[in-house]
Structure 1
Amino acid sequence: MGLCHGKPIPALENPEELPLPLPPPPNPPAANPGTPKSWKLPFYSPSPLPGYYKTSPASNNSSSVSSTPLRLFKRPFPPPSPAKHIKALLARRHGSVKPNSASIPEGAEAEQLGLDKSFGFSKNFFSKYELGEEVGRGHFGYTCSAKAKKGDMKGEELAVKVIPKAKMTTAIAIEDVRREVRILSALTGHENLVQFYDAYEDMENVYIVMELCKGGELLDRILSRGGKYSEEDAKAVMVQILSVVSFCHLQGVVHRDLKPENFLFSSNDENSTLKAIDFGLSDFVKPDERLNDIVGSAYYVAPEVLHRSYGTEADMWSIGVIAYTTLRKSPLLGSDGIRYISSCLEGRAKF
């Protein structure tokens, strides 16, 4: 999964000029009868670093040689987590890589100076809406409640996603916002989709006005039930998720960040309608097209995404993880327990 950078080894003109082997250890201890003379493990090799050989008591005063115990490792090693890989790519995508921190290159992408951050949206947001308190926060923006001050929706409570322009430091970050608004405008008419109303902007922010869902996240419902849904309740949740994702796929949209946090209940009622939200990482895809961006959330991302070749099937893997978390009770508590369960699927995937 990681990137490997190395230099080719030049061919030796004279094969006899090979590096000499390491000298034998000083004063090797006498072998006990019945003790094997050497390790016969295929993955074991002596360390070329000083301090590999145990020193005698007489040489303990030497500062150049230290004693290091022999160490064996168990195999196979556990599969690597994709979390760091995805976070690094997302940070690079949105221009938030910290100084002196390692980043993973993504094609020929580079930050550009003098970016055009004008979206062509309406600029009279505060004349129509009164912004309220913050109700949620994501990686690249936050959501506040709001109230309409005029028009057909006067007095109605709404949700406004606020995306600071200061965080849009790459051309890709700006295009992500444009695409999110286009996708929200295109995806209308499904009861399990959060309703989009309009988009606004000013010098500091972009404002995306949407339906306000007061029932909280699906993740909160799962945790409130001790990390486990009954099969009947899980079925009701999964039918709604499958219905809305199928609708998105028929419209040529792949969500790419499906997880319990991105599904909200419209009200606190037990049988409330579930709504899909947060299309900030979504994209349009054609039936014969393959996407290669590594985006999503580490515990729900499909292996095809990490291999940079995927389509709408990437969402189906994420739905499978959501189904697994609703039905399987976690041995841990809180959100860490949910993450533990979903991370079990990481071991099955060949990253």
Structure 2
Amino acid sequence: MGICTSKPSPNSHTSSPKSDSPQTKESSVKLPDASANGENPRDDKAEAENVKKSPFFPFYSPSPAHYFFSKKSPARSPANVSSNSTPKRFFRRPFPPPSPAKHIRAVLARRHGSVKPNEAAIPEGSEAEAATGLDKSFGFSKHFGNKYELGEEVGRGHFGYTCKATFKKGELKGQQAAVKVIPKSKMTTAIAIEDVRREVKILKALTGHNNLVKFHDAFEDHDNVYIVMELCEGGELLDRILARGGKYTEDDARTVMIQILNVVAFCHLQGVVHRDLKPENFLFSSKDEDSQLKAIDFGLSDFVKPDERLNDIVGSAYYVAPEVLHRSYATEADVWSVGVIAYILLCGSRPFWARTESGIFRAVLKADPSFDEPPWPSLSAEARDFVKRLLNKDPRKRMTAAQALSHPWLKNSNEVKVPLDILIFKLMKVYMRSSALRKAALRSLSKTLTLDELSYLKEQFALLEPNKNGTISLENIKTALMKNATDAMKEARIADFLASLNALQYRRMDFEEFCTATLSVHQLEALDRWEQHARCAYELFEKDGNRAIVIEELASELGLSPSVPVHAVLHDWIRHTDGKLSFLGFVKLLHGVSSRTVPKAQ
């Protein structure tokens, strides 16, 4: 989505004259499947030419991951770099056969209607679409010219361009706005049309957050769609990073991260995943040093239900999460992207780097970011821990945006106001469906939580506004969600999700049980002190909850199907001396092993 306020640099190295703006939705596109990217020696020359055209940040140092996954040294000549956008955001050449990535690229080409005569698309059932006969009517107002005076162009991308515009009448008469103009001639597939329709729907639905670009209206005529938003004249976050010599101080980075996490947590609560978070997609509202930061470009965003997993590989290579490349992800993928931004802000280099897209993907999947090189040793332990917990490759162990705002590195700031976290409702749903034995195990684990770990849960409990007795019911949860609801939340059907918590309609939950229900075993497991947590919890469980249990009863507790060979699977879960749960069985019980996960454990 385009809301830039300065003309693109004439020296930008791009793949086409219409790909300068880093803020149009095509600057981030469907990415080829990492597992399908074959390397071919005959492409070395073409790849080298592309590297020369890639606008690398001059202050970035290559990640050590490059040396693990690339046979050649990175090209780092200052003559080959530019500093105005994230590199390699377009795929400029066909992938060589026999790589399956060619198929993914063909799907991408059809998505944007860019199939050339010599690049035959691979038909995929109903996805095979003709460019003619498409309904390009969106139902938007057709009187753009009556309300706005279109001004100078301020940015151009592959799929559209952005102009300034002036209100002609109404309360905002004489004020300026930003208008993204998308030619209908570019919409040559049904998917491209749906992308535009969904972008407007999400912008219209997500309203009322200070760190979100304000949507004014959408118009159309025979030739174009016009998306009108507030004009942000402070430039990109990327530009300010560059202006500061490539990195921020901890205090300044903290201020930026609070704003980014606030808007990301807001979107996730509403059931929207952005899918393209990067410094280019955050604009400052003005040129003032303390200007507000605004999230833009929802062209790749989508609605996601609390229990839903998406499988589209979309985003920008340097910021894409591992689970996106594995084609199974949700809102956690945004948090990974925030972690990449945090890493860049604090040290001035990317956590994952390589010469090629496939090299970047391998680094994202397999390499660990370096925290040993300067300036990391001189930064606070809290800052390092904060970034590490955002860049955990397991999305279940990664902090949510709301949890990140509760992290010790941020929570002492006066600017922090922790929002409601949709994760607590997901965890409550699982807890309500758990067996009595698992609930007892979770209760033991909750008693080992530290004050820092309890702090986040206390904040979430307070947001549900318990009664004078310190308890909550289903009504509290509904009220809290409605207080924060936008139209986007209704689209993601989060209200339907609450049906799984109907048991709370007939009883109340105190804070102790709330902690038991909403602690994340996977997140605790990611901490250095997990072993201590688990051992202490097991000792408590031995006193209060452990009992003799036969394997068949345990299988029933876990809800395992009759087809599962329970004696082989659960043999190590039970102590042979007294028939009670072993430590191994206790830890696995905490994770909630089911029929779906047991075969993987065999």
TM-score normalised by length of structure 1: 0.71
CA distance in 2 between counterparts of 1:295 and 1:191 reads 26
The letter for the 1-side match of 2:111 is R
Partner Cα separation in structure 2 for residue 323 and residue 107 of structure 1: 41
Q: Which amino acid aligns with 1:133?
A: E
Contact 1:89/1:294, CA 8 A, preserved across alignment: no
1:149 aligns with 2:168: yes
Q: Once the 2 structures are TM-superposed, how far is the Cα of residue 98 of structure 1 from its aligned partner? A: 2.9
Structure 1 residue 103, shift from structure 2 partner? 6.1
Deviations 1:165-207 (A, max 9, x none): 1110110110111111110111001000000011000011000
The answer on 1:78 being equivalent to 2:70 is: yes
State the partner residue of 1:93: 111
Matched, 1:218 2:237: yes
Q: Once the two structures are superposed, what CA deviation does each residue of 1:45-86 show, in whole Å capped at 9, x if it has no partner?
A: xxxxxxxxxxxxxxxxxxxxxxxxxxxxxx96439x997468
Q: 1:190 to 1:4 in 2, by over 3 A?
A: closer
Which of residues 245, 253, 265 in structure 2 aligns to 1:246?
Answer: 265
> Match for 1:164: what amino acid?
P
Q: In structure 1, what residue type is equivalent to 2:110?
A: R
Structure with the larger helix share: 2
Q: Secondary structure at the match of 2:247?
A: coil
1:249 and 1:282 mapped to 2: Cα distance?
A: 11
Structure 1 pair 296–151 and aligned structure 2 pair: CA distance change class (3 A): same
Q: Deviations over 1:259-296 (max 9, x none)?
A: 11100000000010000001011000001111111111
Question: 1:173: which partner in 2?
Answer: 192
Partners of 2:321 and 2:364 within 8 A in 1: no
Residues 214 and 268 of structure 1 are in contact (CA less than 8 Å); yes or no, is this contact kept in structure 2? yes
Q: CA deviation at 1:338?
A: 9.7
Secondary structure class of the residue paired with 2:145: helix
Secondary structure of residue in 1 paired with 2:317: coil
Comparing 260-269 with 83-92, which one deviates more in the overlay?
A: 83-92
Aligned with 1:109 (options 119, 127, 151): 127
Letter in 2 for 1:110: A
Query: Per-residue displacement from partner, 1:149-177 (whole Å, max 9, x unpaired)?
Result: 11121101100011111110110110111
SS at match of 2:226: strand
Indicate whether 1:312 and 2:331 are aligned: yes
State the 1:133 CA deviation: 1.1
Q: How far, CA to CA, are the matches of 2:163 and 2:245 in structure 1?
A: 29
Q: Could you tell me whether the CA contact under 8 Å between 2:250 and 2:346 is conserved in 1?
A: yes
Residue in structure 1 matched with residue 467 of structure 2 by the alignment:
none
Q: Quick check: 2:343–2:351 contact (8 Å CA) kept in 1?
A: no
Q: CA contact under 8 A between 2:211 and 2:294: conserved in structure 1? A: yes
Query: Does the 8 Å contact 2:153/2:162 carry over to 1?
Result: yes
Secondary structure of 1:210's counterpart equals: strand
Secondary structure in structure 1 of the residue aligned to 2:333: helix
- Residues 207-233 of structure 1, C-alpha deviations (whole Å, 9 max, x = no match): 011000000000000111111111111
- The residue type equivalent to 2:70 in the other structure is P
Cα shift readout 1:115-139 (whole Å, capped 9, x = no counterpart): 0000010001011101111122233
Kept in 1: contact 2:199–2:299 (CA 8 A): yes
With over 3 angstroms needed to count, the CA separation of the structure-2 counterparts of 1:313 and 1:103, relative to structure 1, is farther
Matched with 1:20 is none
Aligned ranges for residues 1-351 of structure 1 at < 5 Å?
Answer: 1=34, 3=36, 77-78=69-70, 84=91, 89-101=107-119, 108-112=126-130, 113-330=132-349, 340=353, 347-350=363-366
Report the residue type matching 1:109 in the other structure. Answer: E
Is the deviation greater in 95-104 or in 155-164?
95-104
CA shift for structure 1 position 105: 7.1
In 2: Cα distance, 1:329 partner to 1:218 partner: 13
Instruction: Provide the residue aligned with 2:58 in structure 1.
Output: none
Alpha carbons 1:291, 1:308 under 8 Å: kept: yes
Q: State the shift of 1:99 in Å.
A: 3.1
CA–CA distance in 2 between the matches of 1:236 and 1:102?
49
- Counterpart of 2:177 in 1: which secondary structure? strand
Measured in 2, the distance between the counterparts of 1:169 and 1:89 equals 13
Match of 1:56 in 2: none
SS of equivalent to 2:232: coil
Separation in 2, partners of 1:276, 1:147: 22
Q: Is 2:352–2:364's contact at 8 Å kept on the other side of the alignment? A: no
What is the match of residue 45 of structure 1? none
Q: What SS does the aligned partner of 1:134 have? A: strand
Q: Quick one: structure 1 residues 92 and 307, their matched pair in 2 at CA, closer, same or farther if it must change by over 3 Å?
A: farther
Structure 2: 5+ residue runs without aligned partners?
1-33, 39-66, 72-87, 92-100, 368-602
- Residues 83, 284 of structure 1: alpha-carbon distance in 2 compared, 3 angstrom cutoff: same
Kindly provide the amino acid, as one letter, of the partner of residue 230 in structure 1: T
Alignment check: 8 A CA contact 2:70 2:354 kept: no
Distance 1:102 1:347 in 2: 31
SS in 2 for 1:299: helix
| Residue identity matched to 1:98 | K
Give 3-state SS (helix, strand or coil) of 1:275's partner. Answer: strand
Contact preservation (8 Å) 1:219, 1:261: yes
- SS for the counterpart of 1:136 is strand
The 1-side partners of 2:344 and 2:151 are apart by 33
Partner Cα separation in structure 1 for residue 122 and residue 232 of structure 2: 37
Report the CA distance between 1:241 and its aligned residue: 0.4
Give the superposition deviation at 1:349.
1.6
| Residue 91 of structure 1, CA deviation | 3.2
Letter in 2 for 1:119: F
Matches of 2:124 and 2:35, distance apart in 1: 13
Q: Secondary structure at the match of 1:269?
A: coil
Following TM superposition, by how much is the alpha carbon of 1:92 offset from its aligned partner in structure 2, in angstroms?
Answer: 3.0
Q: Are the structure 2 counterparts of residues 231 and 4 from structure 1 closer, same or farther at C-alpha, using a change threshold of 3 Å? A: closer
Contact 1:325 1:341 in 2 (8 A): no
Following the alignment from structure 1 to structure 2, what is the Cα–Cα distance between the partners of residues 105 and 117? 22
2:180 counterpart SS class: strand
Q: Within 2, Cα distance between the matches of 1:90 and 1:262?
A: 21
- Contact residue 163 and residue 179 of structure 2 kept, 8 A: yes
